[in-house]
Amino acid sequence: MDGGMKFILVLLVLTTLLSIGVGVRFFLLEEETYQKYVRTEQTLTEKNFVLKDKLEAVEKSKSELEKQLETLRAKLGRAIETQATLNREYQASRVKMDNKLNILAKEKAGLEEKIKQIQSEQFFAETLKEKIILEVEVKSLKNKLTSQETQIRNLSSERANLQKRLRELKGVRQANEEVLREAREVSDLLSRRLARESQNSMSLSENLERIRRENSALQQQLVGAIEKIELSSEKREDIELSPIMVKAASPFPTTPSPAIRGGLTSVKTKSFPEGRILSVNNKYKFVIINLGQEDGIKPGMSFDVYRDSSGIGRIEVLEVHPGISAADIMVVRGKTSLRPDDIVKVRR
């Protein structure tokens, strides 16, 4: 009986110790989970602030585009009102002209009846005197008819002018619609650019760290190569070494050695047409050019920018559409700034 009690007590003690160990383990896991939660919340809060700033900039740009859209709509409304006014004026002029033609037709019919009466022998003697008066009236009516014909020609000329003005207003309307379409395309490009920059910002730190590690490895390789070159220069003094350049922003040398250049064959590059800049966004540092997929343009292509046959900068294509492309502003020389109608040529 005593042995059984001891066994039970030992079992209870072991169970208690096991419970305490499990409780401590769960407490430590809970504390670690809470610390991870706090760090994650801080990271998300910082990213949220950055995204809010970018969202405010995009909303500000969107409001400016909406204001421009409202202005274009107001101009279009005024053009439509002007068109309606011209149509009403034309209709009124047409009604006046028709009324005058009807009056002249009635007067002509009356004159024809009087002429028939004059031709009858019964009234010939009595209306001999009236004949002269009627001739005078006919002459006056002919003059009046000539004047009416002149007015009709003037009205026809006015009608032609009104139609010409109507066509000009239609052209203005089409131009306004084209401007509105371009504004919408620029708005879409800005939205896609913002999304792309948000994605690129997430991987920027990883790419920078990778570039630093690769640069460090290259520097170590460079030091080893320099030591080997110094050792070999002591044995052979007639060896000429080409300069080696390491760029901190890129893990690869930008200029091939003379030996490599000597072994390369020349490749005939594809010929691309010249283009020009359609619009410039200095706030987000990108431009819209009039070259696209139809001209063989692809993302990543570089263009030199010229003004008056002088190079003033360089751009790189970001997005390509059938007739236009969006490109980042990479380099601007001096104190100049890119502007519409600057010439762009594919960088060789």
The correct CATH number of 272-346 out of 3.40.50.300, 3.60.10.10, 2.40.10.340, 3.40.50.620 is 2.40.10.340
pLDDT at position 175 is 66
Q: Can you give the residue ranges of every domain in the chain?
A: 28-235, 272-346
In angstroms, what CA-CA distances link 73 with 67, 77, 137, 173? Answer: 10, 6, 58, 10
Residue 262 reports pLDDT greater than 60: no
Cα distances from 171 to residues 82, 105, 174, 218, in angstroms, run 13, 40, 5, 62
Per mean pLDDT, which range of 130-139, 208-217, 225-234, 332-341 is the poorest? 225-234
Name the nearest CA neighbour of 326 among 275, 276, 292: 292
What's the average model confidence in pLDDT over 61-85? 88
Express each pLDDT in 83-109 by its tens digit.
888 888 888 888 888 888 889 888 888
Quote the pLDDT of residue 201: 56
Query: 329, 315 in Cβ contact below 8 A?
Result: yes
- pTM (2 d.p.): 0.30
Task: Tell me the pairing of strands 275-281 and 286-289.
Answer: antiparallel
Least confident interval from 51-55, 89-93, 234-238, 245-249: 245-249
**Between 211 and 48, where is the model more confident?**
48
Look at residue 331 in the predicted model and tell me its pLDDT.
Answer: 93
Percentage of residues in the chain having pLDDT higher than 90: 18
What does the mean pLDDT of the chain come to? 76
- Mean pLDDT for the stretch of residues 255-261: 37
Classify residue 29 as exposed, middle or buried by CB count within 10 Å of its CB (0-12, 13-18, 19+).
exposed
**Residues contacting 102, CB < 8 A, separation 6+:** none
Task: Yes or no: say if 295 and 257 are a contact pair by the CB < 8 Å rule.
Answer: no
Residues 309-327 have a mean pLDDT of 94
Structure tokens at 148: 């009416």
Instruction: Provide mean pLDDT across the span 122-141.
Output: 70
3-state SS string over the chain? CHHHHHHHHHHHHHHHHHHHHHHHHHHHHHHHHHHHHHHHHHHHHHHHHHHHHHHHHHHHHHHHHHHHHHHHHHHHHHHHHHHHHHHHHHHHHHHHHHHHHHHHHHHHHHHHHHHHHHHCHHHCCCCHHHHHHHHHHHHHHHHHHHHHHHHHHHHHHHHHHHHHHHHHHHHHHHHHHHHHHHHHHHHHHHHHHHHHHHHHHHHHHHHHHHHHHHHHHHHHHHHHHHHHHHHHHHHCCCCCCCCCCCCCCCCCCCCCCHHHHHHCCCCCCCCCCCEEEEEEECCCCEEEECCCHHHCCCCCCEEEEEECCEEEEEEEEEEECCCCEEEEEEEECCCCCCCCCCEEEECC
